[in-house]
Amino acid sequence: MSKRKSCVSILLTLVLVLSTFTFFGVRSEAATVTVTSVAELQQAINNSSGETEIVLAYDMQLTATVTIPAGKSITLQGGVTLTRTSSAIAFDIKEGGSLTWQDIKLDGNAKDTNYKSAVINNQGKLTINGGEIKNVRSNSGMVGIVTAKGPNAVLTMNGGSIHDNYMSNQFTNVVKITEGASFFMNGGDISNNTLEHSGSSGLNSAVGVEGIRGSSTMEMTGGTITGNTAEYGGILVGTYSTNYTMQNNFSNPAHYYSTGTLNLKGGTISNNTAAVLGGGIAVNGTGKLTMDGGTISGNKAPFGGGIGVVDYLTSADGKRFGETRWRGFFPASVTINDGLITGNEATMTAVTSQITDPNAENGVGGGIYVASKEVYINGGQFTNNTAGKQGGGIYVASVPYKLQMGKTLVTGNSATKIGGGMWLCPTGSATTAVTNGASFFDNKAGNGAENNDTGSAGDDVASINKQDPATQTLILSNNGLDNWLVHWYEDGKIDEAYLGNSDGSPRYPNTVSPVVDRGTLDGITEKIALKAIVSDEGKAAARNVAKVIVTGNTAPRGGGIGSNGAVAFGTDPVNYDKVDLTVSKKWENSNTNHVTSVTVGLFRITKANFDAVALTNADGSALDTTGMSESEIFQAKVDKLMTSGANTYAQIDQVALSNANDWKFKFVDLLKYDMVNDAQDTTNPNIYFVREMDTDGNWVANDANATFGAQQIRASYKATKNTSGAYDQVITNEEVKLREIEVTKKWVGDRESKVEVQLYKNGNPLGASRVLEGANNWTTKFDNLEVRDAGATEDNVYSVREVGEENGAIKIGAKHYKVSYSAIDQDGKMTITNTKNPTPKKDKPPTPNTGDGFGSGMTALFGLSALGLLVLVYNKRRRYQ
């Protein structure tokens, strides 16, 4: 009976639990249905309720369109192949419907498509996790093999492959995102598709994100778009033509400002080929691109091997509408914050009527081509791109276009003709801001200035005579990244050709004699070829802070950057107040064995921070500077500053002084005032000072000794304010003459276990006393003693004395010694001799014979009294006991 009650209890509990699950609505697993035909597939979709997995049992001929109605959520799997048999739509996902493509292969069977149609038409949600879509051959216009259309259409690609399809008409894409749809690409690939661009074909791309009848978007975080060929390469963002856009958007005010937007955060766009614009990505007309990551590599196009950007502002329609209205409709905007653009090529991949730039016959803009006023490169790397004509890494098309760049490092680029780092055509302009602009160095034109290749010019920058000097100019700050100085020198000369070539002049440093540091080049409108010289420390600082890296790019002109328009590096200010200072070095005439070169560092601190440096005595009390010269106070503050560990000053340059520059260097166009929020603070001037570096790599303080080669050198600095308000500085180096004194102790008559000796300099103790004892053979040596102090006119006088000696004598314990000192001989040796004095004998004084007997009697009486007293005390003690 108890067992029956127990079973009943268990059953009741189970029923209660199941009822609870039902009450709280716990979801069950999706239903799974297996089908063997297209008809069964459609029936299963129609009959589905909630999320349904449909497994295809066999390969099938796709004889009819499969429709996913609104409200249906289908996952299709089975790993089988569906083969198209007609040009009809294969799958039609209605708004509100959802299809997850798990692992199915869709073979297009080389079948055509219908006009304005698709193979997979998605107005709802399509998620591709695997499988393939391939072998479609479409000859119809306005087709997308996979299309997401409408504001509620979402395509998500996590895996799978859309590959080896062929299209031969206009306004076509392998993947078309249009009329406000969204595309999220997290994985998978879109690869090896061919879209014809000859004859009446063209205006196509592998992926199209259209700004047509609504704003469409694509976000790419992973996956690969590779090996595709089209008029616009891998991805077109925007629209194919302004006429097509206006026809579709201007009939409805709600669509006036429709855009296509790509947010590139990851993934790879590689090895695509465009016949016209943007081998990797074309941002055309209504397009917008934000790049925060990902890689664009190995793509090709005449305009922008990696990225091409065109807003058509200079077209007839653009001029008719006016700039402000036109840019509202066709922003063609790009913001690059990060990512890699590498190994792309601007080259003539095709000849089409759309190529109208007379200077682009061999390709421009290997990494990016800019024909827009809305392009901002704040970060990222442009590496190893090439252009057949100009701008291996970056190219700006023409006036009025302007490229804005962040903290940019242009290094390691090369040009076969002129302008290894940057080239500006007759309409090209460039400006570098003072505090956050750019650094150029180690670029090369031809075989470089180092090899005096007179067939080329301008390792780092080349600029041609300007057509309109009032608006077209070159401004290059000598204040590079992280505020390290860039020294600009002429490097060859440019001939009168329109695009410019070398005129055969010698290269730097022989272009101008004597060589001249051009400082900040402000408003240069005449042709010029330049070489930038930056210290190794300045190069390292630039690499550390740069956000945009342009390196390893090549072109005939402008290996790194080429421009027919404007390039602005950083933000204001470009112009600033300047000071100069000269540092010079002086050696003793008698010192002919000094080092052949000395490194000097230039440092900067604001006046407010310099004035805050307090000079103190050893006990911390304020130093009385009365009687000190301005230069002495200046140098004392510098020494205190550099030994305090303060971070209020910074090194900004490092140069070498030698016979080659007559032991002199002039720093030009230095910032007169501190910069705060990219503006001059005219209430707070900058203070500049120098220090030289010794052989061990240490900065040498004023009046300090240091090692220079094999010599000990004393460095002294003198600062003198010049007419610009800065301090010219003279470094005087004197060889420090040193001597040594060897002291030996000798004993005569006796000796002690040890003694101490003290060295004196000019009558004052110098250092600690030394012990002389048997363990050191009663010898010690005082070395590195300066013969003469800095600024002194007479030699120092040194002596050694035994500690405790006074007036030639010393008492050690109970013994007395005579102390004698030899002179210090020419070898610096001296002897201290201690001779023991004999101990004097004390004679007993005779008792005086006075003849008076009273004294003797009294003595005897006192003796007897004392004896009696002792007897009395003794007897009392016995009685007590």
| CA nearest to 207, candidates 167, 164, 248, 237 | 237
Residue 852 has pLDDT above 90, yes or no: no
Q: State the average pLDDT over residues 773-800.
A: 89
Q: What is the CA radius of gyration of the chain?
A: 46
Question: What confidence score (pLDDT) does residue 480 get?
Answer: 95
Residue 448: the pLDDT is 98
Backbone phi, psi, residue 659, to 5°: -60, -30
pLDDT at 678: 83
For residue 786, what pLDDT is reported?
A: 84
What's the fold here for domain 738-836?
Immunoglobulin-like (2.60.40)
In the chain the first and final C-alpha atoms are separated, in Å, by 114
Q: Do domains 580-735 and 738-836 have the same CATH topology?
A: yes
Give the model confidence (pLDDT) of 403-443 as tens digits: 999 999 999 999 999 999 999 999 999 999 988 899 999 99
Q: Please, which residues have CB within 8 angstroms of residue 609's CB and are 6 or more apart in sequence?
A: 646, 648, 649
- Beginning with the edge strand found earlier in the chain, give each strand of the sheet holding 414-418 in spatial order: 137-138, 166-167, 194-195, 229-230, 273-274, 300-301, 345-346, 386-387, 554-557, 414-418, 444-445
pLDDT above 70: percentage of residues in the chain: 90
Residue 14: what pLDDT? 43
| Cα–Cα dist 419/556, whole Å | 8
Mean pLDDT of 83-94: 97
Q: What is the mean pLDDT of residues 183-209?
A: 91
Query: What pTM does this model have?
Result: 0.84
More confident residue, 637 or 841: 637
Average pLDDT over residues 859-869: 42
pLDDT above 90 covers a percentage of the chain that reads 80
Per-residue model confidence (pLDDT) at position 360: 52
Rounded to whole angstroms, how far apart are CA atoms 353 and 344? 23
Q: Which pLDDT does position 841 carry in this prediction?
A: 58
The whole-number pLDDT of residue 839 equals 65
Architecture of domain 580-735: Sandwich (2.60)
Give the pLDDT score at 622.
95
Residue 881 has what pLDDT?
Answer: 37
From the list 580, 538, 610, 577, the residue with the least C-alpha distance to 679 is: 577
Assign 3-state DSSP to the chain and report helix, strand, coil percentages, each to 5: 15, 40, 45
Task: Please write the tens of the pLDDT for every residue from 434-481.
Answer: 888 999 999 999 999 999 999 999 999 999 999 999 999 999 999 999
* Contact in structure between 798 and 786 (CB atoms under 8 Å): no
Q: Tokens in use for 250?
A: 């201007």
Measure the CA–CA gap between 383 and 392, rounded to whole angstroms.
9
Over residues 653-661, mean pLDDT: 96
Weakest-pLDDT range from 23-32, 488-497, 722-731: 23-32
Kindly report the number of other CB atoms within 10 A of residue 262's CB atom: 26
Over 80: is that where the pLDDT of 5 sits?
no
Averaged pLDDT score across all residues of the chain: 90
| Nearest CA-CA partner of 409 in 377, 445, 387 | 377
Name the residue with tokens 């090529």: 345
> Would you say residue 742 has pLDDT above 70?
yes
Closest CA to 564 of 396, 432, 423, 419: 396
Calculate the CA dihedral of residues 535, 537, 540, 545 and round it to 10 degrees. -100
Confidence at residue 574, expressed as pLDDT on a 0 to 100 scale: 82
pLDDT tens digits, residue range 373-399? 999 999 999 999 999 999 999 999 999
Give the model's pLDDT for residue 8: 43
Structure token digits, residue 843: 């004679």
pLDDT at position 134 over 50: yes
**Tens digit of each residue's pLDDT (9 = 90 or more) over 560-606:** 999 999 999 998 778 899 999 999 999 988 888 899 999 999 999 99
What does the alpha-carbon distance between residue 280 and residue 298 come to, in Å, rounded to a whole number?
8
Residue 298's nearest CA partner among 191, 207, 397, 217 is: 191
Domain boundaries, the chain: 417-553, 580-735, 738-836
CA 669 – CA 478 distance, rounded (Å): 7
Q: Which residues contact 8 (CB under 8 A, 6 or more apart)?
A: none
Amino acid identity, position 271: N
Report pLDDT for 362: 82
Neighbours of 645 (CB within 10 A): 6
Torsions phi, psi for 632 (to 5 deg): -65, -40
Band (856; pLDDT cuts 50, 70, 90): very low
How far is the C-alpha of 338 from the C-alpha of 336, rounded, in Å?
A: 6
pLDDT of residue 793: 76
Q: Which residues pair with 531 in a beta bridge?
A: 489
Convert 418-431 to b/e letters by CB count within 10 Å (16 or more is b).
Answer: bbbbbbbbbbbbbb
Q: Comparing 212-221, 223-232, 261-270, 323-332, which segment has the lowest mean pLDDT?
A: 323-332
Least confident of 305-319, 350-364, 613-627: 350-364
